[in-house]
Amino acid sequence: MAGTISMKRILASTCLLSALSAGHALAAECSISIGRVVPITGPLADVTKDTPWVDENKIKPINDAGGLKVGDELCKINYKIYDSKSTVAGSADAATQAILQDKVDFLIAQGTPDTTNAPSDLCERNKIPCVVTGVPIEAWLLGPDGKPKEYKYTFAFYFSVGDLVKNHLGMIKALPGGFNGKIGYLYPNDADGTVFAKIFDPVFKQEGWTPVDPGRFQQGLPDFSSLINQFKRNHVEVVTGVLAPPDMQNYLQQAAQAGFKPKMYIIDKGTGYPEPMAALGEAGYGLLSVNFWSPAYPGNSTYGGYDGQTLVDRYEEATGKPYVPPLGYDDASYDVLLSAIQRAGTKDRDAVLAALKTTKLDTVDGPIAFNSQNYSVQPLAGAQWRFDEATGKIVKETVFNEVYPSVKKTGEMKLYE
Amino acid sequence: MTTEDFYWALIDLANGLMTGATLGGYYALISVGLALTFGVMKLVNLSHGDWLIVAAYLAVVILGLYPVSPFWVLLPLVPMMFVIGYVLQRGLLNRVSTFAVERRGLSPIMAMMLPLLITFGISTVLSQALQLVFSTNAQTIRNDYSFSAIALSQDLSISTLRLGFLVLAAVLIGALALFIQRTHIGRAIRATSDDAEIAALMGMRTAHVYGVASGLSLMFAAFAGFMIGMSRSFQPFDGPPYLLTAFGVVVIGGLGSLGGCFLGGIVLGITQVLAGTYFGPAAQQLAGYLLILLVLAARPQGLFKR
Amino acid sequence: MDLSNLSAIGAPPVTTNASKSAPWRIGALVLLAALVIVPLVVGTDSYIVHLLMTAFIFATLGHAWNLMAGYGGMLSVGQQVFIGIAGFSEAILIYYAAAPLVAVWIFAGLVPLAFAALLVAPMGIRWPLRRSWALVVFFCLVAGYEIAVTVKPELDIFGDNFTRRAFLLLFLFLGGLPLLRLRGAHFAIATWLIAESVATIFSGWPLAGAGGGMQVNADVDLLTLYYLALGLVAVVTLGIFLWMRSTFGLALMAVRDDEDAAASSGIDVMRIKMSIFLISAFVTGLAAGLYFMDAMIITPASGFSISWSSYVVFVVVAGGMGTVSGPLIGAIVFVVVDRILGQMSGQGQLVLGLMSIALMLLLPQGLAGLFGRSMRRRTHLIPFLRSPSISGEGQ
């Protein structure tokens, strides 16, 4: 495939570039090296499909103009992509390689807790300023007993589960035709499932609703029929959960076979990307989920000056593929880092760290400003998958924006059919 | 206990047995190929799960080129996988068969290890190659049957596809048994699996026989992969969990036994669904693992092997 | 034959050719000395130091597996269960007890050892009657604990009902499983299943972070880890070298090549299998402990991943199975392929897969087989028996 080949070529050339620059570290010339840890191979590779397009889009214009103005100097920016292999161990290797072998000045890590958390910890140990995104704030911040970790060198921005709760609660309350209070859970026993169940359960109970919780299950559960019977027996009207695409399809098929049709499905994770939804076919129309980034988000990129829509248009034109939501975050993570370096006026780590703390930046994800725990919560909105008869494709429409009214609505919420 | 509770208790039990049994057909089809290679060549094929996924992707590609009704895809897919299996065995795996390893003067332990390692390597290469070609997008074989069911009562229904695959598994396994008993090459396969050295001494072309067995194994992988694609979505890295399931079925049924595969699949399916019904969904897979371990401990020759 | 007093590490080697092994000893000492001063030469935070440390860890894991498969004939594909348990006990000790480094590391070895002891427990007790008694006693203890928890919920150290019951029942079950009686493919599948079952429970255990895992925030620097790993691999290598030359080693190989024949010639097969199983678990735990202190994070998916087994198998087989030098050579090949070639090509896993296929075809005896005559002298310790069938799988 053309995309893969060009990606490899760019990867190779950047490798070469940074190898050369590492070899000739001329003191006179200013250069900044940024390591970017992302899953290139393995099951999570979908999450960062926009790599390395997004890097080229951001860095090339700056380098073409002579470099980034840092203090009085123009600094060339070298980025290098490190493959996390979609595993925790792989992301630790990648970060170690970036820090110890290539001695990068800064690190960016993106895409699910499995990719971001090991680099975060390693940045703390090696005292490297690090920006992470693509990980819900709580999954990055909280330890197993719910206590927040203390990060000094790592900064995160993404949506928070707290906002997600508000969003889902609002969507259920806005259910057209009222709600009988019976809510079914589909939470697996993976990282997302356990965290979501822990956070959502008390909130739903507080609303006076009756949860029907079959319990945590392992991904790849062969049979959902006993769960579905439990939902049916208890007259569940709303089903909510976090399902990976294969589980989502398996569940929806078995629900259809059993003739179980709730008024509303709110399913996260599997609903994030267009391809698995297209694979679902009609069963996917009307599924509700969260929109954690879309071109409808407010704000402009500080480096490049474009808004979300322009970014998406450029991406789709260059690659011929539909955009993926992490695009906005990947773009903004460079903005955060570049702005901090510029404001520090040097690439000295302590100075950049201080500048990162006082970040106040407009990005395609909306404004970013880090709090005392080093994170910034970005907007989210409720979304629904629809079949667009005009184009014959499925689209994700923003149907609920009460939590962040700055994200524009593109349609009205409908019942699941 | 109210009448409604009683009603649901009955529904749960009936659903558990029925869904479990149909799930068993699905499991049986997944594991026949593994049982075959093990039975004939003592080859533990660690890439078995990935071949299922390869077959599913091939089906999607063929259907993308020729958009016909999905079942027609089996017509080119099954022979294609047979050829792949035959070539793979003759070209690669025969070099590390028990025979070849002994000829090279290596220890019996190596005869066990080499195929394991080589098939493990194949497994890695296959999944990585699938990712390079198809990216990690979830794919599925679109069809009209995956959402349909035969309703037995208001709250009891049986998946059309899974019932179909249960029947298909029974028919195919029966056909394979007949093939092995009645045809010339089938008898050669049996003789080779009983004692490869004697079979070779009697003039059987072991390399060819192994090739055919491997081809048959992948032929079944084609059916199973098609079935996976019809009833679920799949990604390049989905192979190993299927391999583990297949191992479980083969252990329960007795290593290398074909009929055992069928019954073993059904026992595993029913155990999982019933455990899920009564102890919560988290117990589904755990109960499956424990059942397999129990069989290993108490009857290592399998439940259905005399 | 009573092996118990001969099997200790450091027992006098029975077959030593002093004149031939002297250069080897000097070579090994020089190599060790060189490795000790490497960090001083290349800098203490050099990537080379990290790569070498990784190689030491994988060599140790390789030794542990080689002990079981290469010398003992027990083909395990479930080493990840010891690795995951080691990592999680470390993480739990650091997070909840803030234990000191040394204690944490020792526990990373001891907990897998205890788990391995549970797995081989039924073998230690000869009389079936007593074995069932042990199970009954354990079952009563579990039931008592269950009642105690309903009365006093704070006694529940597992944090939730499902995890507690699943863990205790699994332990009960594994305690009754005669793992070491299984042979060949049966043993391999059983080890994999045990690892999967333990992983299933860990991924639902909120106290251990459930699927999200835990931070392993040990207060340790790369240099300390380097020397710990170097010390570990040196001790383990020497230990195995001496051990395999003792009567125990010979008995072990007799067991591997033909269990029944070994048993009939008076070797206590179960005791031998048990000792290498336990040692293998302990050593694997120690190596994994160092690995996770360096990686700083463990999740059930990463700790209990089947890829651990594939890496370890690659290390041993690439180097040479059933040889002392095999895991050492294999670990270096692994690090070069996985960390260096992989990153350069962008397809590390693919390269590793292709490499293992190629190696199996071209060099089934591993790279150790390529070395000179003195190396071959060592490999001949494994008599390449040509028995008509693979030892007893499919029985």
pLDDT (tens digit, 9 = 90+) per residue, A241-256? 998 888 888 899 889 8
Domain for residue B226, yes or no? yes
Of C95, C296, C339, the CB nearest to A125: C296
Q: What is the mean pLDDT of residues C113-140?
A: 71
> In 3D, which of C2, C77, C46, C20 has the Cα closest to residue C313?
C77
Element (H, E) at C251: helix C247-257
Candidates C388, C367, C387, C385; CA nearest to C376 is: C367
pLDDT attached to residue B174: 93
SS3 A387: strand
Whether C134 has a pLDDT exceeding 80, the answer reads no
Supply the pLDDT for residue B240.
87
CATH 3.40.50.2300 fits A2-159+295-377, yes or no: yes
pLDDT at residue B178, as a whole number: 92
In this predicted structure, the answer to whether residue A11 has a pLDDT above a threshold of 50 is no
Is B44 within a domain? yes
Distance in angstroms (rounded) separating the CA atoms of residues A126 and C45 = 10
**Are B138 and A221 in contact (CB < 8 Å)?**
no
Predicted local confidence at residue B306, as pLDDT: 59
Of A12, A114, A189, the CB nearest to C204: A189
Residue B261, in any domain of the structure: no
The burial of A165, by beta-carbon neighbours within 10 Å (0-12 exposed, 13-18 middle, 19 or more buried), is given as middle
Q: Is B118 in contact with C201 (Cβ distance < 8 A)?
A: no
Position B252 in a domain: no
Mean pLDDT lowest among A133-147, B26-40, B93-107, B290-304: B93-107
Query: Quick one: chain A helix, strand, coil %, rounded to 5?
Result: 40, 20, 35
Q: CB distance from B281 to chain A under 8 Å?
A: yes
C305 vs A contacts (CB less than 8 Å): 87, 89
Task: Tell me the residue range of the domain where B131 lies.
Answer: 24-143+154-237
**Mean model confidence pLDDT for chain A:** 86
Question: Tokens 């990307």 — which residue?
Answer: A273
Chain A interface with B: residues with Cβ < 8 Å: 1, 4, 41-46, 49, 189, 214-218, 220-227, 229, 232-233, 245-246, 249-250, 252-254, 256-259, 273, 275-276, 279-281, 283
Q: Tell me which residue in A44, A223, A279 faces B276 most closely, judged by beta carbons.
A: A223
* Token representation of residue B185: 């090459």
Confidence of residue C82 (pLDDT cuts 50, 70, 90): very high
Q: B284: nearest CA in chain C?
A: C200
How does the average pLDDT of chain B come out, rounded?
88
Taking the mean position of all CA atoms in its chain, how far away is CA C386? 28
The larger pLDDT score, comparing residue C5 to residue C221, is at C221
According to the model, what pLDDT value does residue C123 have?
A: 54
Mean pLDDT for A142-153 is 87
Which subunits have 3 or more CB–CB pairs within 8 Å of chain B?
A: A, C
User: Domain A162-291+380-400: which topology?
Assistant: Rossmann fold (3.40.50)
**C72: nearest CA partner in chain B:** B109
- Are A252 and A196 within 8 A, CB to CB? no
Using CB atoms, pick whichever of A41, A88, A216 lies closest to residue C349. Answer: A41
pLDDT for residue A135 is more than 80: yes
C321 chain-B contacts, CB cut-off 8 A: 109-110, 113
Residue range B40-60, pLDDT digits in tens? 888 888 899 999 999 999 999
* pLDDT > 90? residue A265: yes
pLDDT of amino acid A80: 92
Residue C237 has pLDDT above 90, yes or no: yes
C297 → closest Cβ in A94, A97, A121: A121
Q: Quick check: A109 contacting C, CB < 8 Å?
A: no
Q: Do B281 and A225 touch (CB under 8 A)?
A: no
Taking only the tens place, the pLDDT of each residue in C190-217 is 898 899 989 988 887 888 887 788 888 8
Residue B140 contacts A, CB cutoff 8 Å: yes
Residue whose entry in the numeric block shows the structure tokens 């299950």: A217
- Interchain CB contact of C27 with A (< 8 Å): no
- Min Cα separation C176/chain B (Å): 9
CB B237 within 8 A of CB A245: no
CA dist., res. C223 & res. C236, Å (int): 20
Nearest-CA distance B91 → chain A (Å): 28
Q: Any idea where the domains of chain A sit in the sequence?
A: 2-159+295-377, 162-291+380-400
pLDDT at C20: 54
Determine whether the interchain pair B123/C353 forms a contact, defined as Cβ–Cβ distance below 8 Å: yes
B chain contacts of residue C176, beta-carbon cutoff 8 Å: 297
How close C62 gets to chain A, by Cα (Å)? 18
Backbone phi, psi, residue A289, to 5°: -160, -160
**A234 burial type by CB count under 10 A (0-12 exposed, 13-18 middle, 19+ buried):** middle
Q: Which chains touch A (3 or more CB pairs under 8 A)?
A: B, C
Looking at chain C from residue 346 to 375, which residues have their Cβ under 8 Å from any Cβ of chain B?
Answer: 347, 349-350, 352-357, 359-361, 364-365
CB A51 within 8 Å of CB A81: yes
Interface ipTM > 0.90:
no
CA distance B99 to chain C (A): 10
What pLDDT digit, counting tens, does each position of A294-325 carry?
888 888 998 888 998 999 999 999 988 888 88
CB within 8 Å: A215 and C162? yes
Is the pLDDT at A13 greater than 70? The verdict is no
Structure tokens at B306: 């005399």
Number of domains in chain B: 1
B 184-243 residues with CB < 8 A to C? 197, 240
Q: How confident is the model at residue C157, as a pLDDT?
A: 75
Work out the burial of residue A314: count CB atoms within 10 Å of its CB; fewer than 13 is exposed, 13-18 middle, 19 or more buried. middle
Residues of chain B neighbouring A1 (CB-CB closer than 8 A): 132-133, 135
Neighbours of A170 (CB within 10 A): 14
In a domain, B195, yes or no: yes
Asked if A2-159+295-377 and A162-291+380-400 have one fold, the answer is: yes
Could you say which residues from 90 to 129 on chain B have a Cβ atom under 8 Å away from some Cβ of chain A? 128
**Is any Cβ of chain B less than 8 angstroms from the Cβ of C337?**
no
| pLDDT value of position C381 | 38
Residues of B in Cβ contact (< 8 Å) with A276: 137-138, 233
Assess whether pLDDT exceeds 90 at residue C371: no
| B67 touches C at CB < 8 Å | no
pLDDT at C122 (0 to 100): 64
Average pLDDT for A88-99: 91
> What are the CA-CA distances from residue B178 to residues B175, B253, B279 (Å)?
5, 19, 41
pLDDT interval class at A112 (50, 70, 90): confident
According to DSSP, residue C215 is labeled E
User: Does residue B15 sit at the A interface (CB-CB below 8 Å)?
Assistant: yes
Size (chain C), residues: 395
Option in B44, B118, B301 nearest C185 (CB): B44
- Interface probe, candidates A224, A226, A235, chain B, greatest B C-beta count within 10 A: A226
pLDDT in tens, B268-295: 999 999 998 888 887 888 889 889 988 8
Backbone φ, ψ for residue C225 (5° rounding): -60, -40
Q: Which residues of B touch C188 (CB under 8 A)?
A: 44, 116
What is the predicted pLDDT for the residue at A371? 92
pLDDT at C73 over 50: yes
C70 by DSSP, 3-state: which?
helix
Residue A215, chain C, CB below 8 Å: the answer is yes
**For residue A102, which of A133, A120, A80 has the smallest C-alpha distance?**
A80
Residue A6 has what pLDDT?
A: 46
A42 vs C contacts (CB less than 8 Å) = 349
pLDDT tier for residue C21 given thresholds of 50, 70 and 90:
low
Q: Could you tell me which chain C residue has the CA closest to the CA of B289?
A: C193
- Asked if C393 and B255 come within 8 Å (Cβ–Cβ), the reply is yes
- In a mutational test of the C interface, the residue from A16, A190, A242 whose CB has the highest number of chain C CBs within 10 Å is A190
B6 at interface of A, judged by CB pairs closer than 8 A: no
Statement: residue C277 has pLDDT above 90:
yes
Do the Cβ atoms of C347 and A192 come within 8 Å? no
* pLDDT band, residue C375 (cuts 50/70/90): very low
Q: In angstroms, rounded to a whole number, what is the distance separating the alpha carbons of residues C214 and C299?
A: 6
pLDDT tens digits, one per residue of C141-185: 888 888 888 888 777 777 777 788 888 888 877 877 788 888 777
